[in-house]
Amino acid sequence: MESIFVSYKFRDTDRQVANDIKRLVKSHQLIWLDGENLGGTALWPGVSERVRAADALITMFLHPEDPTGQAWIRTEYDHACDNNQRVIAVVEDGFPWNDPRSKEYVKFKRADQLPAFLKFSDTLGEWKSAAGRRVTVRLLPEMVARLAAHQGYSCRYRLTKDFQAITGWIPVTPGAAVSGIGFPASGIRDNVNIEIEINDGSRALYFSAADPSSVPAELKAFEQK
């Protein structure tokens, strides 16, 4: 997980809460996005693209005296739900909250904000743990790596834990990495291994398993200068 879209109404009272949430997002080493500055693009295409590009969405339903003013925010929330993204709503005390999707939400009180932010921080931590991290897999030897990147060949990976597959096969297209040819793999968590297969369209040619928690280190003879 790398980024969170923060959905809120651009008025001063909402912006104060949004800024605190953005600080909390950054404290979890995540990037926050919003729809305030879209570079001149059309509003909905620009916002919806950013929502889909994020790994999750946080939306704020504030000011119970003005529930009808949240239509745009609700559209962003529903859009993320429709794309099966992680979402959580921050709902101010007294707001007439009705969610047919039955998602968990954070109850927010302006006079006592700490419980809401603690709950929100726990949610971010759980999201990061469940999503895992992204690593770059370098394919070796170089000759096989080049073969995997050629047209007519395919490469795929899956994650395993305790010798059992925990994901299906995920197709990838190897390309040039910093130190060779490889591909990005997502969802890496503790005690998870990566299985990699190279196929020529009819059969598997190469297969390997890697432990992303270990780092190979090539030792070379020390030369005293």
Output the six-digit token pair for 146. 């080049």
Which residues constitute the domain of residue 177?
134-210
Inside any domain, residue 110:
yes
CB contact set of 100 (below 8 Å; sequence gap of 6+): none
Inside any domain, residue 7:
yes
Dihedral angle sign, alpha carbons of residues 174, 177, 181, 184: negative
Output the six-digit token pair for 40. 């001149």
Q: Total structural domains in the chain?
A: 2
| Cα–Cα dist 125/68, whole Å | 32
Inside any domain, residue 99:
yes
Residues 140 and 102 in one domain: no
Inside any domain, residue 94:
yes
**Are the C-beta atoms of residues 200 and 207 closer than 8 Å to each other?**
no
Residues 161 and 113 in one domain: no
Which CATH number belongs to the domain containing residue 110 in this structure?
3.40.50.2300
Inside any domain, residue 113:
yes
Residues 12 and 119 in one domain: yes
pTM value? 0.80
Return the amino acid letter for 4.
Answer: I
Q: Which of 159, 168, 109 is closest to 135 using CA atoms?
A: 159
Domain stops at, among 131, 163, 193? 131
Q: Which of 101, 96, 70, 180 is closest to 136 using CA atoms?
A: 180
pLDDT value, residue 24? 96
**Are the C-beta atoms of residues 9 and 69 closer than 8 Å to each other?**
yes
The pLDDT profile of the chain, 225 residues, written as one tens digit per residue, is 899 999 999 888 899 999 999 999 999 999 999 988 888 788 888 899 999 999 999 999 998 888 777 888 999 999 999 999 999 999 999 999 988 889 999 999 999 999 999 999 999 999 999 999 889 999 988 888 988 888 889 999 999 999 999 999 999 999 987 678 999 999 998 889 999 999 998 899 999 999 988 888 878 888 777
Task: Match 């954070």 to its residue by tokens.
Answer: 106
Domain stops at, among 111, 131, 151? 131
Residues 83 and 25 in one domain: yes
**HSE of 151 in the Cβ direction (CA atoms, 13 Å)?**
0
| Cα–Cα dist 152/175, whole Å | 15
Residues 45 and 154 in one domain: no
Inside any domain, residue 183:
yes
Inside any domain, residue 114:
yes
Residues 16 and 122 in one domain: yes
Domain stops at, among 104, 131, 158? 131
Residues 121 and 178 in one domain: no
pLDDT value, residue 214? 87
pLDDT value, residue 178? 65
Residues 111 and 138 in one domain: no
Residues 42 and 126 in one domain: yes
Residues 114 and 26 in one domain: yes
Residues 100 and 152 in one domain: no
**Helices vs strands, H then E, count in the chain:** 5, 13
**Are the C-beta atoms of residues 27 and 66 closer than 8 Å to each other?**
no
Output the six-digit token pair for 43. 């509003």
Output the six-digit token pair for 100. 């047919």
Inside any domain, residue 223:
no
Residues 107 and 183 in one domain: no
